[in-house]
A = this chain, B = another copy of it.
Amino acid sequence: VTFPLGFRYASTYAGIRKVAKDDLALIVSDVPANASATFTTNRVQAAPVKLAQKHLRDSRGKLRAILVNAGNANCATRTGDTVALETSRAAATILKAPLNQILPASTGVIGVELDARKITKALPELVSKLSPDRFGDVAEAIMTTDTVPKVASAEVSTGGRVVRIAGMTKGAGMIHPMMATTLAFVMTDAMIPVDFLKPMLSVGCEFSYNRLSVDGDCSTNDTLTLMANGASGVALSESSRKLFQDVLNRVLQELAARIAKDGEGARKRVTIKVSGAKTHADAASIARAIANSPLVKTAIAGSDPNWGRILCAAGYAGVEFDPSKVEISLQGIVVCKDGLAARFSEAALKKKLDGKECLIDFRIGGKGKGAARFWTCDLTEDYIKINASYRT
């Protein structure tokens, strides 16, 4: 896989987190890229989220660089706004870019002051390390409770020429489908006007990050960016935009699914498919209720084909459906038919549920065409262990 042209990456350890693991990273486009981003819908927004929104407005969707740190959310702190501004300004100066073309992003603990000097001091080294092949380093540097870096990429052929998309993301807890979720940075070297980027990202987000839940908590720092720097020299025709959208969706879905797989304490990724609802939105609501049910998630942790909990969760999704028409499959085995227990071998299914992937298929009989796919993970003792002591 080749990465998009005209982007460079670097990471370093700036001393923000306690363990000596890279915690500061830079993503730079050689030329100002067209960009769009979605942010958390939380009323409490971290300083970098507020500044990032302002910068994108002021620059009318032009972005040279993303400056991102892990280990501190720069949220609910006295100096947060100043820190976001000063570190962005330092990055702009050293990159010779307008301030409003720098997008700051942070992830980590809330309510602890972030020392701007740690970042400004590390910037020269960071810039000196910038390289097109340090993509993976950045994906590692933005990890918090993540156990693996998460990247996805794809190529799109259009008129005999190729454009590239590559994305990275982080997130394992505080994951909930509301607009953007967690941090995700997606780069492409296609030429795409800003006016097209926004709806492209919206659509992509709707079918990926908005269909992802680990614990139902929506963070203060969620940021999802899409940068198109045109370095391929390839402009997308109207027909190729549709193809590009499909591939973008797949990249975003792959990133989102990787987060589900790496959910805090998760042993299993759970994919939930709902079909037969009146609308796609109804199907997504049912899938979301199932995905957010601690009882469903603990049953899956225990390899227990407890379909009653799945039916029950669907029942409080706020969506009208006839329970007596519901068929539920686990790992392809029908466990509930017409809303009632189906005959199946518990022992055999239990074994199938011991694997690392779990598929819940929730079908409502009838004429409804509404369908949705949703990702989550099981809920294990380790989620508790991780989160009962994360801050200290």
Chain A positions near chain B (C-beta within 8 angstroms): 41-45, 73, 75-78, 109-113, 173-174, 176, 178, 215-220, 292-295, 298-299, 301-302, 304, 306-309, 311-317, 319-321, 323, 336, 339-341, 379-381, 383-385, 387-392
Listed residue (A178, A298, A302, A312) with the most chain B CB atoms within 10 angstroms of its CB: A312
Which single residue of chain B is at the shortest CB-CB distance from A318? B43
Residue in contact with A308 in the complex, picked from B110, B304, B313, CB distance below 8 Å: B110
- Known contacts A76-B341, A379-B384, A380-B384; is-contact A110 B298 (Cβ 8 Å): no
B76 touches A389 (CB 8 A): no
A323 touches B76 (CB 8 A): yes
B219 touches A388 (CB 8 A): no
The DSSP consensus for interface residues of chain A is loop
The smallest beta-carbon distance between A362 and chain B, in angstroms, is 12
The smallest beta-carbon distance between A293 and chain B, in angstroms, is 5
A391 touches B217 (CB 8 A): no
Listed residue (A110, A292, A316, A383) with the most chain B CB atoms within 10 angstroms of its CB: A316
Which chain B residues lie closer than 8 Å to A323 at the CB level?
Answer: 43-44, 76
B76 touches A294 (CB 8 A): no
A316 touches B176 (CB 8 A): yes
CA distance A311 to B215 in the complex (A): 16
Which chain B residues lie closer than 8 Å to A313 at the CB level?
Answer: 217
- Known contacts A75-B308, A298-B387, A308-B73; is-contact A220 B315 (Cβ 8 Å): yes
Which chain B residues lie closer than 8 Å to A220 at the CB level?
Answer: 311-312, 315
CA distance A385 to B112 in the complex (A): 34
B311 touches A110 (CB 8 A): yes
Known A42-B316, A44-B339, A111-B336; further 14 A-B contacts with Cβ < 8 A: A42-B315, A44-B314, A44-B315, A45-B315, A75-B312, A76-B311, A78-B341, A173-B295, A176-B316, A178-B316, A217-B313, A294-B383, A302-B389, A304-B390
The smallest beta-carbon distance between A386 and chain B, in angstroms, is 8
CA distance A294 to B315 in the complex (A): 22
CA distance A265 to B71 in the complex (A): 31
Which chain B residues lie closer than 8 Å to A43 at the CB level?
Answer: 314-317, 319-321, 323
8 tightest CB-CB pairs across the interface, nearest first? A110-B308, A302-B388, A44-B315, A298-B387, A42-B315, A111-B308, A381-B381, A43-B315
The smallest beta-carbon distance between A247 and chain B, in angstroms, is 31
CA distance A112 to B311 in the complex (A): 13
Which single residue of chain B is at the shortest CB-CB distance from A300? B388
The smallest beta-carbon distance between A167 and chain B, in angstroms, is 25
A78 touches B340 (CB 8 A): yes
